[in-house]
Structure 1
Amino acid sequence: MAQREGNVGEPRAGNQSQVARGGALFTRLLASTMKICLILVLFLNGTSSVSVMLNHPISLPCGHGEKVVWRKVIPINANVAECQNEKCVVNESFRQRFAVMHEKNYTLFLKSAKYNDQGQYVCSRDGIDKHFKLEVVVPINLTAVESENITLPCYADTQSNVRDVTWLHDEQKILHYSTNGGTNPSNGYKDRVLLTEDGFRDGDISLTIMDVQKTDEGLYRCLVHDETAKGYPHAYMLHVKENPINAGGNQTEGNTNEKRIRIGLIFTLLLIIPFFVFLLCCKKTTTPVAESQSTTDSEPIQESDQKQSTRPFYSGGNTHVLQNLGMISHNDNFNNETTDSIETSM
């Protein structure tokens, strides 16, 4: 009997296991169905797709209403913020990086987007819903040299129903390719952007930018199938640096201008310096002459100056030099007396 009871119990356990597995499968199917239905509802209501780079800010505008509620519905269902009578309260789990301001149409502000912030957001105001699909982009950084070419690699499965490729630059469509219409670059990119030749057949939808300019900096994204699917890699952040040749040319031009300025200054100094030297020489030459003339005309000769003068005189056959005028007068008297005494004796 015990053996029979055991035999009977084994099928019961197996049935319970099968029921549990069936319940889990049903739950998964139900969840998937709900998500599909929700996506369809969002699609029918009109959903705005918004992209933001990782760690960058983003804002989702809503509109005025007496009561405004922000919710995140995919991949989770949670209230982000509620506003009533111009007072907004942000849920604690979103408070660190989210904010809502009634002064700006109850816009939802995200200070620094993280990867888990992507998903579906709904703003409900007075019975009107507004849907947003937020995508957080993690781009690959690339650096290009100005005036040169660069290729942004991207790949996608183009074997099935994919018939087109779109490249975006900062949300602006710069190139659209379709198997029916060929390649259509946007204004400003004509003859500057192209896809890999015959690459679409092999799944290579890489973008080549020719003659890179400073304005080409920014976010580039690769999309296929009417922009509903992503290529891989999906996004690039392009940085453009100055071409060393152009920089060298500018530097050479700057050096040439400096040399011209220096040569001009030197030439000016060479003209000015001789002129000042000439003026100084003329001043030194004219000053002593003027002083000597003024001294001769206005000041009499002093007696001490007369005594210091010397001149020759003749006495018989010898020449004597007198040191001063006083000696000259004394010798004249002596000669006269000698002549008188000689005449008397005769």
Structure 2
Amino acid sequence: MKVILFWTIGASILVTLYSKDTFSGAPVRVLVNQQATLFRNVSSCENAQFRWILPTEATIAKCQKQICAIKDVFLEKFQFKDNNLVLKSAKYSDWGTYECNCKSIITFVKWDVVVALDVSVKELENITLLCYAKDAKDVTWFHNDARILQSKNDGSTVADKVFQNRVSLKEGAFKDGNLSLTLLDVSRKDVGLYLCRVNDETAEGYPYAHMLHVNDNRSSPEGQKADFVLMMVSVPINIVFALIIVFLSVKLYKNNRIISQSTSTTSRTSQPVEESERNPSENVHMLALPVDESQSAQTCAQPVQESKTDLKSSSTQPF
């Protein structure tokens, strides 16, 4: 009996140790409303059971002879996809600890559902990510699960070499409760999730998470390269348009010149006729001879001389 009891205790210790090895102390962070994989290669175990153990206890799915099925109550939340157990869209209430039991080997996964604020900045500019905490002894800033800054209220600060001389807290941060992180000369490598935790990473600052987006800046080398490419593409197009405009202008000028010459010829041909019709009195005046006023008066004063025929006829008496 002692031997059996010894082996039972030993086996329990081994299982416990193995379970501890498979337990991930650091939580798996997933953004709210995003899809996330809970367990991978689920069919590798012939018989398996997947459970949610904290803060509630419930069986999510089971696999028997490598055929897996999800419980009805979790059909809207989970699915098997590409041999993985997947959470369709993470909600804030999905945080907690999950387990996979495969042949009495239990694997734990702790999930932290993060609600992150979206912030944007242009390349090479500076940005401050807000975080506040009351009576904090220390603060740790993470970038995509990597620690980039650790600072204590005694003034000691350690920064990651990638972010060294680029990240800092304001003076008197712990006194004011303002543990906001200032990031200088932002680049595309800085894109991602930033988290603020305090008191040996046991508590969260407020706000806790930021999702940083970096936009193009035309003053950056990448922006200058994009401008150069755009210029190289637009120059040929502008030249073609200029040639088309010149061609149309020349053609229009020639057409206008032909029309002008035709109009001039027509006007010269019709001018004499138009002048004679328009001012006939001027032509008559130009052809009239000068008149001697004395001769004209004499002529008008001469009596009309009667003809002989008229005299004879006047002396003849009627019958």
* TM-score interval, smaller chain: 0.5 to 0.7
SS at match of 1:112: coil
Q: CA RMSD in A?
A: 3.3
Of 52, 60, 66 in structure 1, the residue corresponding to residue 30 of structure 2 is 52
Task: Supply the distance in 1 between the matched residues of 2:226 and 2:26 (Cα, whole angstroms).
Answer: 49
Task: Supply the distance in 2 between the matched residues of 1:75 and 1:222 (Cα, whole angstroms).
Answer: 23
Residues 45 and 210 of structure 1: is their aligned pair in 2 closer, same or farther, counting only changes over 3 Å? Answer: closer
Task: Supply the distance in 1 between the matched residues of 2:237 and 2:99 (Cα, whole angstroms).
Answer: 68
Task: Supply the distance in 2 between the matched residues of 1:90 and 1:69 (Cα, whole angstroms).
Answer: 10
User: Does the 8 Å contact 1:48/1:131 carry over to 2?
Assistant: no
- What amino acid does structure 1 have at the position aligned with 2:72? E
Residues 187 and 60 of structure 1: is their aligned pair in 2 closer, same or farther, counting only changes over 3 Å? Answer: farther
Of 153, 156, 159 in structure 2, the residue corresponding to residue 182 of structure 1 is 156
Of 150, 154, 169 in structure 1, the residue corresponding to residue 131 of structure 2 is 154
Per the alignment, residue 64 of structure 2 pairs with 84
SS at match of 1:82: strand
User: Does the 8 Å contact 1:165/1:223 carry over to 2?
Assistant: yes
Q: CA deviation at 1:116?
A: 1.9
Per the alignment, residue 122 of structure 1 pairs with 99
Q: CA deviation at 1:83?
A: 1.1
Q: CA deviation at 1:48?
A: 4.5
Per the alignment, residue 110 of structure 1 pairs with 87
What pairs up with 1:1-346 in 2 under 5 angstroms? 47-61=25-39, 64-100=44-80, 104=83, 107-157=84-134, 159=135, 162-179=136-153, 182-246=156-220, 249-250=224-225, 253=228
Task: Supply the distance in 2 between the matched residues of 1:226 and 1:68 (Cα, whole angstroms).
Answer: 36
Further displaced range: 191-200 or 180-189: 180-189
Task: Supply the distance in 2 between the matched residues of 1:59 and 1:259 (Cα, whole angstroms).
Answer: 46
Q: CA deviation at 1:254?
A: 5.1
- What amino acid does structure 2 have at the position aligned with 1:219? L
Per the alignment, residue 265 of structure 2 pairs with none
Q: CA deviation at 1:135?
A: 1.4
Q: CA deviation at 1:255?
A: 7.1
- Name structure 1 gaps, 5 residues minimum: 1-40, 266-346
Further displaced range: 248-257 or 148-157: 248-257
SS at match of 1:116: helix
- What amino acid does structure 2 have at the position aligned with 1:197? E
User: Does the 8 Å contact 2:22/2:108 carry over to 1?
Assistant: no
Residues 113 and 66 of structure 1: is their aligned pair in 2 closer, same or farther, counting only changes over 3 Å? Answer: same
Task: Supply the distance in 2 between the matched residues of 1:176 and 1:237 (Cα, whole angstroms).
Answer: 20
Q: CA deviation at 1:231?
A: 0.5
Residues 71 and 257 of structure 1: is their aligned pair in 2 closer, same or farther, counting only changes over 3 Å? Answer: closer
Q: CA deviation at 1:100?
A: 3.9
Residues 264 and 87 of structure 1: is their aligned pair in 2 closer, same or farther, counting only changes over 3 Å? Answer: closer
Task: Supply the distance in 2 between the matched residues of 1:123 and 1:54 (Cα, whole angstroms).
Answer: 23
Q: CA deviation at 1:202?
A: 2.3
% identical aligned pairs: 37
- For residues 288-337 of structure 1, what are the alpha-carbon distances to aligned partners after superposition, in whole Å with 9 as ceiling and x for unaligned? xxxxxxxxxxxxxxxxxxxxxxxxxxxxxxxxxxxxxxxxxxxxxxxxxx
- For residues 92-119 of structure 1, what are the alpha-carbon distances to aligned partners after superposition, in whole Å with 9 as ceiling and x for unaligned? 1111231246x75xx4311221222212
User: Does the 8 Å contact 1:81/1:100 carry over to 2?
Assistant: no
Residues 91 and 201 of structure 1: is their aligned pair in 2 closer, same or farther, counting only changes over 3 Å? Answer: same
- For residues 65-105 of structure 1, what are the alpha-carbon distances to aligned partners after superposition, in whole Å with 9 as ceiling and x for unaligned? 3421111122221110111210111111111231246x75x
User: Does the 8 Å contact 2:22/2:106 carry over to 1?
Assistant: no
Q: CA deviation at 1:43?
A: 12
In the superposition, the TM-score normalised over structure 1's length comes to 0.55
Task: Supply the distance in 2 between the matched residues of 1:75 and 1:256 (Cα, whole angstroms).
Answer: 59
User: Does the 8 Å contact 1:166/1:177 carry over to 2?
Assistant: yes
- What amino acid does structure 1 have at the position aligned with 2:36? I
Q: CA deviation at 1:178?
A: 2.9
Task: Supply the distance in 2 between the matched residues of 1:253 and 1:71 (Cα, whole angstroms).
Answer: 57
Task: Supply the distance in 1 between the matched residues of 2:96 and 2:192 (Cα, whole angstroms).
Answer: 23
Residues 82 and 254 of structure 1: is their aligned pair in 2 closer, same or farther, counting only changes over 3 Å? Answer: closer
Further displaced range: 148-157 or 125-134: 125-134
Q: CA deviation at 1:201?
A: 2.6
SS at match of 2:98: strand
SS at match of 1:122: strand
